[in-house]
Amino acid sequence: MGKTIVEKVFSKKSHSDVHAGDVITAEVDTIMMNDASGPLAIDFFEKMGVCKVAHPERVVAIIDHYVPCPNSKVAQLQQMLFSFKDKYGIKLIPSGGGIAHQVLDELKCVAPGKLIVGCDSHSTTHGYLGSVGIGIGASDLACSLISGELWFKVPETILVKLTGSLNKGICGKDVALYLLKKIGGDGANYKCLEFTGSGLASLSMDDRRTICNLAAESCAKCAIMSIDDKAKQYMDCRGIDYSDFSVSDSDAIYAKEIEIDLSKVPCMLSLPSTADNAVPLAEKKGLRIDMAVIGTCTNGRIGDFEEIDRILSKTEKKFAVETLVIPASAEIYSQMMERGYAKKLIDRGAMILPPGCGPCCGSSPGTPRDGFNVISTANRNFIGRMGNVNSYIYLASPSSVACSALLGVISTEEDLDV
């Protein structure tokens, strides 16, 4: 019987021949904890009483949620990660390095065939380069610290066949919201989303990251992009070994197959208060916006800022509303400085916040005021997500957010010319 990519990765990591539905124990390549769930994971680890980390060199702690540290209570929690690092010799990236999912990528932990667990649901992002990235809870993380392994139920796979190519001004975020609308907020629960097809070629590597990131909003266990020539070229440039990559067998069994013609994907917008509550953005043009957020683990990458810079170059306008910009990592921030993107953003009235999760889940500053409509490049728009239940969050692509922030109403690039 043929295998999907995720079945192949789990077969390799469990040293056995596995298929969807099998419950197996698999060896983990990278274990990530952040300052939101890491302290709880350490608490579990200590209560379990084993006091031994199987492979400290595979463990990375990253401070990204509360950046910079807002108060003494969080300082104590973050100290737990530093103490754990001193005691067990794990790697730690302190405040300001960036968001865990981006930092792991920059550390080259993400590569085809790798199994990565993180106590953060958006660990699905790592699938953009063929890793199986799974978000887990703190107690499971503690178990993986102790043994270097974890039990998994091998997921079924939903195959997403991409055809056609993206129209001008449409990006990975629009594709992701389009897919979420199609399958719903639990459309991939317990399952892997595997992306393949000729349409892949028109998606940049950053588009692919965004799509895998948002897979979490359909409750996917993981997401995997097929490795194509563009991905290989990208890995060649970055010196990442892809000899371990696999493709699904022609007789692999899928739970479901979905086809998306990329040329039919319009500019999308998620209305409050779930990401799958998405509509073509055109339906809401003109809606008042009070605040804009650009960044997060969904869209805080250099390709996203390049796109925003292109939008800014088309107009002399300043941002009409408070616009917060959060680079996904220090490396990206530095590139934004080098390329002049940061200066242009600041000159237009934006405020650049330290690399990290920013106000996305209300953990770092940037809380909207009562009655505010916020347009954001983030992945979640739950009630109160940014720390105020009396504000309303709309999700869109970097270019749509930039255009809306410039005009003060929901807009796209074509509205700038009017």
Partner 1 sequence: MFEYSGKAYCFGDNINTDYIISSRRKKDTINPQELVKYIMEDIRPGFSKEFSGKNILVAGENFGCGSAMEVAAQVVKSAGFDVVLAKSFARSFYRNAINNGIIPVEIDTSDIKENDNLRVEMNDTTITVSDLNENRTYTGPAFNGKVKDILLSGGIVNYIKNNFSRDSHKEDLHG
Of the residues 53, 138, 177, 402, which one makes contact with partner 1 according to CB under 8 A: 138
DSSP helix/strand/coil, 361: coil
Give, rounded to a whole angstrom, the gap between the first and last alpha carbons of the chain.
58
The number of angstroms, rounded, from the C-alpha of 204 to the middle of its chain's C-alpha atoms is 15
Contacts of 335 (CB under 8 A, 6+ apart): 302, 305, 341
Q: Is 121 in the site for partner 1 (CB under 8 A)?
A: yes
Stretch that binds partner 1, among 4-12, 42-50, 235-243, 244-252 (CB under 8 A): 42-50
Q: How many residues bind partner 1 (CB under 8 A)?
A: 56
Closest contact distance (angstroms) between CB of 354 and partner 1 is 16
Q: Which stretch binds partner 1 (CB under 8 A): 41-49, 247-255, 282-290, 401-409?
A: 41-49
Nearest distance from C-beta of residue 313 to partner 1, angstroms:
36
Least gap, CB of 242 to partner 1 (angstroms): 28
From the CB of 384, what's the least distance to partner 1, in Å? 4
Contact between 392 and partner 1 by CB under 8 A: the answer reads: no
Q: Rule CB under 8 A: is residue 323 a binding residue for partner 1? A: no
**Can residue 295 be called a binding residue for partner 1 (CB under 8 A)?**
no
Q: State yes or no: residue 346 binds partner 1 (CB under 8 A).
A: no
For the window 73-102, what string marks contact with partner 1 as x by the rule CB under 8 A? Answer: xx--x-------------------------
Q: How far, in Å, CA of 156 to CA of 158, rounded?
A: 7
Closest CA to 37 of 145, 138, 142: 138
**What is the DSSP track for 121-153?**
GGGGGGGGGT-EEEE--HHHHHHHHHHSEEEEE
Does position 150 bind partner 1 by CB under 8 A? yes
- Cβ(352)–Cβ(342) under 8 Å? yes
Q: Cβ distance 188 to 215 under 8 Å?
A: yes
3-class DSSP state for residue 58? helix
Give the rounded distance of the alpha carbon of 100 from its chain centre: 9
Beta strands in 57-185 (DSSP E): 59-62, 91-93, 115-118, 132-135, 149-153, 157-163
239 binds partner 1 (CB under 8 A): no
The residues near 375 (Cβ < 8 Å, ≥ 6 apart) are 289, 291, 292, 293, 393, 394, 395, 396, 400, 401, 404, 405, 410
Site string for partner 1, 157-186 (x = CB under 8 A): ----------------------------xx
Q: Which is nearer to partner 1, 156 or 307 (CB)?
A: 156
The answer to whether residue 50 forms part of the interface with partner 1 (CB under 8 A) is yes
The binder of partner 1 chosen from 1, 71, 250, 251 (CB under 8 A): 71
Minimum gap (Å) between residue 36 Cβ and partner 1: 7
Q: Judged by CB under 8 A, does residue 56 bind partner 1?
A: no
Q: Which of 40, 231, 330, 350 binds partner 1 (CB under 8 A)?
A: 40
Q: How far apart are CA 182 and CA 256, in angstroms?
A: 13
Q: Of 23 and 237, which has the nearer Cβ to partner 1?
A: 23
The sheet carrying 256-261 orders its strands as 222-225, 192-196, 157-163, 256-261
**13 binds partner 1 per the rule CB under 8 A:** no
Tokens at 28, concatenated? 């983990």
Instruction: Choose between 185 and 408: whose C-beta lies nearer to partner 1.
Output: 185
Q: Which residues bind partner 1 (CB under 8 A)?
A: 23-25, 36-37, 39-40, 43-44, 47-52, 54, 65-66, 70-71, 73-74, 77, 119-121, 135-140, 142-143, 146-147, 149-151, 185-186, 189-190, 219, 221, 274, 361-363, 380, 382-385, 387, 389
